[in-house]
Amino acid sequence: RHLRPVLALDDFEPAARRKLPRPLFGYIAGAAETNAALRDNRDAFAEWAFRPRYLIDVSKRSIATSLFGQRHNAPFGIAPMGISAIMAYRGDLVLARAAAAAGIPMVMSGSSLIPMEEVAHAAPGSWFQAYLPGDEARIARLIGRVEQAGFGTLVLTVDTTTMGNRENNIRTGFSTPLKPSLRLAWDGATRPLWLWDTLWRTLRRHGMPHFENNYAERGAPIIARNVERDFGARDHLSWAHVARIRRQWRGRLVVKGILRAEDARRAAEEGIDGVIVSNHGGRQLDGAISALRALPAIRVAAGGMAVMMDGGVRRGSDVLKALALGADFVFVGRPFLYAAAVGGEAGVRHGIEILGQEVDRNLALLGCLSVGEVGMQHLQRIRGVPA
Ligand code: FNR
């Protein structure tokens, strides 16, 4: 019912703003410092225009995409987003199930409130994303557990050397641990739908959400645990850690957060299977180059390694531009979490459907039969400086 007015991915945002308590909405929507990186993620797409070809028979076109030898029904997946289960009831499971049903990959965040085993069980094709814990023994235990759970693809997020400066979380009253306050109570009380749909159902059926389910041997309640402190310092991590993980992990290994060609080349040398070009949705280094701008040079450096990207993808046309600029696959973050918050699994499926139809329609309008055909010949720079 409430999905009817949602005609595009961006329509989920105002609906989520109405439903979620202010600090929670702010946590999703926000980025770091001045939001320059966040804004540029969108702006970068507007600098390219399409050069379509007509009178080509595209009646037998397909947006199916193969990645790591696996077929997906669309060239996009769902990016990892932490603590989704306080935004939507059983958030990670909702995202994972919707993605599995639609035949696209979902990357489960290691900072989930739901244990990885549950997600792997509910949606076997899901990927697992990890922030590396600070010490060797914990890294080895984590990798062992991810393998045991049955995940085939491990994503290491490397752009979180230290936590980005998310001033907006302080302004809206979001923190971990979530501190009970009069304001939080008010924010919650004015959002009865979220209180009922998400918080009440969660507390009644599963108890207080636990943080660090996936890192610590035992998670701790979200109102008690300081994730940053418990996680240990990560600013000493280097390629040596990645190399060790490569030796231990037999599945596909993906590095997320790469923005430089040198780093992509290094990843290839270390035997990494793919990189996700990303500035973390603008949430880490403010002013960091957007993935779309970084993409062409990384494509050249990556050789045969899979190149994926995320950041600011909101339309089928954005997906096609990213593919034209060298991506093999793209990921979408915020809109799908808003969709989960607003409409649960049906909401996410609706979002996937919309985006898939946009890709398909624009592929036809571009004069292509498959996403593999889309290339630089379909684009022209109309603004900005040439890369
Ligand atoms: C994220 N992102 C993220 N990335 C990651 O590797 N691990 C994580 O736990 C999270 N958590 C997270 C939470 C929320 C609420 C958001 C919005 C983002 C970053 C995410 O995977 C992705 O890089 C960006 O969100 C992509 O940009 P768009 O599509 O949101 O513009």
* Nearest protein CA to atom 3 of ligand 1, as residue: 81
Confidence of residue 230 (pLDDT cuts 50, 70, 90): low
For the chain, the straight-line distance linking the first and the last C-alpha, in angstroms and rounded, comes to 45
Residues with CB under 6 A from ligand 1: 27-28, 41, 79-82, 109, 111, 129, 157, 256, 278, 280-281, 283, 310-313, 332-334, 337
363-368: long-range pairs with CB below 8 Å, 24+: 363/58, 363/61, 363/63, 363/316, 363/320, 364/58, 364/61, 365/52, 366/50, 366/52, 366/53, 366/320, 367/52, 367/53, 367/54, 367/56, 367/58, 368/56, 368/58, 368/61
Asked if residue 95 lies in contact with residue 127, where contact means CB atoms within 8 angstroms, the answer is: no
Token couple for 159? 């752009």
How far apart are the CA of 5 and the centre of ligand 1, in A? 25
Token couple for 160? 């979180």
Q: Indicate the burial class of 93 (C-beta count within 10 angstroms; 0-12, 13-18, 19 or more).
A: buried
Confidence of residue 181 (pLDDT cuts 50, 70, 90): confident
How far apart are the CA of 40 and the centre of ligand 1, in A? 16
Task: With a cut of 60, say whether residue 358 has pLDDT above it.
Answer: yes
pLDDT value, residue 225? 57
Mean pLDDT along residues 354-375: 98
Ligand 1 atom nearest residue 84's Cα: 15
Percentage of the chain with pLDDT > 70? Answer: 94
282-314 tens-digit pLDDT: 999 999 999 999 999 999 999 999 999 999 999
Task: Give dist(CA 166, CA 300) in Å, integer.
Answer: 33
89 labelled ligand-binding? no
How far apart are the CA of 122 and the centre of ligand 1, in A? 22
Task: With a cut of 90, say whether residue 102 has pLDDT above it.
Answer: yes
pLDDT value, residue 223? 66
78-101 tens-digit pLDDT: 999 999 999 999 999 999 999 999
367 labelled ligand-binding? no
Mean pLDDT along residues 181-187: 85
Rounded alpha-carbon distances, angstroms, from residue 281 to 7, 211, 275: 23, 22, 16
pLDDT value, residue 253? 98
Task: With a cut of 90, say whether residue 177 has pLDDT above it.
Answer: no
186-227 tens-digit pLDDT: 888 899 999 999 999 999 998 888 766 787 655 566 666 555
How far apart are the CA of 73 and the centre of ligand 1, in A? 22
Mean pLDDT along residues 327-349: 98
* Predicted ipTM of the assembly: 1.00
Global model pTM greater than 0.90: yes
Residue 22 CA neighbour count, 13 Å, CB half = 13
pLDDT value, residue 128? 98
How far apart are the CA of 87 and the centre of ligand 1, in A? 14
Asked if residue 199 lies in contact with residue 87, where contact means CB atoms within 8 angstroms, the answer is: no
Which of 84, 275, 334 for mutating ligand 1's site (highest number of atoms within 8 Å of CB)?
A: 334
109 labelled ligand-binding? yes
243-254 tens-digit pLDDT: 999 999 999 999
Ligand 1 atom nearest residue 155's Cα: 6
Is position 280 annotated as part of the catalytic site?
A: yes
Task: Give dist(CA 89, CA 214) in Å, integer.
Answer: 18
Which of 81, 166, 285 for mutating ligand 1's site (highest number of atoms within 8 Å of CB)?
A: 81
Mean pLDDT along residues 5-32: 96
Average pLDDT, the chain: 93
